[in-house]
A = this chain, B = another copy of it.
Amino acid sequence: MTAFAYRIDATDEDARAGVLHTAHGDVPTPAFMPVGTTGTVKAMTADAVRATGASIVLGNTYHLMLRPGAERVARLGGLHRFMDWPGPILTDSGGFQVMSLAKLRKLDADGVTFQSHLDGSTHRLTPEHSVEIQRLLDATITMVLDECTPFPASPEEARTSMQLSMRWAQRSREAFQTREGYGLFGIVQGSVYPELREESARALIRIGFDGYAVGGLAIGEGQATTFAVLDATVPNLPLDKPRYLMGVGTPDDLIGAVQRGIDMFDCVIPTRGGRTARAYTSRGVFNLRNARFADDPAPLDASCRCPACVRHSRAYLHHLFKAEEMLGPMLLTWHNVQYYQELMRGLRAAITERQLEAFAAATRAGWLRDDDE
């Protein structure tokens, strides 16, 4: 068996390149995790996800506990087998989506009660229950249940919320069954307040986790604030553990966060964009529904090796979206996920060569060369 361990191979200023070893395989970092909401990265086969170079995917506990149900997934051999992803899987705690998707949710000191957005049935999530659901799913990395403090929040609201999350983090740690190669991550909260972020980080370190996530960001505060919170938070996290910025972000966000010492990311931007004709490329962001692509024989991104770019023209992709053909989302999601993985490969190589600043500047300059938005 493989111990759950993080090895840093290179650093460039605050940025790190390394490998996270897990029971289900290695994750080279910095790593972007495609979001596999209900047991599928939307519009992609598992083979396609693998072909992009992704080494880890994320599953949503809220969705999976409601449908098909964690016990069912366990009976069927776990999420890896269910979705044909033998590699590492990180699951969120369910808390974030309870607050954003569920109906009639009610938070108390012990947990949260909510009604399913699917059928109105009543469910309850506590720190212990969330950990148990993630165990049934066989998550390689389990996230503690927390409260994602809304933005904006007053210092008092942010402190109360953060302290609740820290108590839940302690309970999650106690409920988590240690297994070789599996890990549990704590989540730093504290809104935009540096002293609360520091207090939260210290509380988590006292409990002790296999990795540390930064939560409560990318919820409307803006990139400058996100980066300021990272600047106040990351220096308080252990050097030798992976750091995961939850729910972030655009390619530009990823570069800035890697420069600030973040190792892992997840976000729906590449997959949601793939379904809505929004293309992320080395030349910037395009909306493929734009009429200017109707007769464009060029590949979407000449530097990309995905099937959408190697096999087809922008004109064809434009046509697929105009005709509302499923192949449009299929090809563009593949491309976007591939672009994100290429970006992570580039970041890892640049850190190893201690050329991160030059790589970041060149990448950002590329985006300006052909941008319609």
Nearest-neighbor residue (CB-CB) of A322 within chain B:
B67
Q: Which of B82, B307, B325 contacts A313 (CB 8 A)?
A: B82
A315 touches B42 (CB 8 A): no
The quantity of this chain's copies bound in the complex is: 2
Q: Which of B40, B63, B76, B325 contacts A295 (CB 8 A)?
A: B76
Task: Report how far A200 CA is from B30 CA in the complex, Å.
Answer: 69
A40 touches B325 (CB 8 A): yes
Scan A28-58; emit 1 where CB is below 8 A from any B CB, else 0: 0000000000111011111100000000000
| Contacts A76-B297, A294-B68; A44 near B316 (Cβ below 8 A) | no
A311 touches B84 (CB 8 A): yes
Q: Which of B42, B77, B82, B316 contacts A327 (CB 8 A)?
A: B42
| Contacts A68-B294, A322-B67; A76 near B316 (Cβ below 8 A) | yes
Q: Which residues of B contact A39 (CB under 8 A)?
A: 316, 319-320, 323, 325
Task: Report how far A67 CA is from B318 CA in the complex, Å.
Answer: 11
Task: Report how far A315 CA is from B76 CA in the complex, Å.
Answer: 8
A-B contact sample (7 more), CB < 8 A, given A63-B323, A76-B316: A47-B311, A67-B323, A68-B319, A72-B315, A76-B313, A82-B319, A326-B330
Q: Which residues of B contact A327 (CB under 8 A)?
A: 40, 42-45
A83 touches B316 (CB 8 A): yes
Q: Which residues of B contact A294 (CB under 8 A)?
A: 68, 72
* Any B CB within 8 A of the CB of A312: yes
Binding site for B on A (CB under 8 A): 38-40, 42-47, 63, 67-68, 72, 75-77, 82-84, 294-295, 297, 307, 311-313, 315-316, 319-320, 322-323, 325-327, 329-331
Task: Report how far A331 CA is from B307 CA in the complex, Å.
Answer: 18
Nearest-neighbor residue (CB-CB) of A331 within chain B:
B45
CB distance from A179 to the nearest CB of B (A): 23
A326 touches B76 (CB 8 A): no
B330 touches A38 (CB 8 A): no
Q: Which residues of B contact A311 (CB under 8 A)?
A: 46-47, 84
CB distance from A132 to the nearest CB of B (A): 20
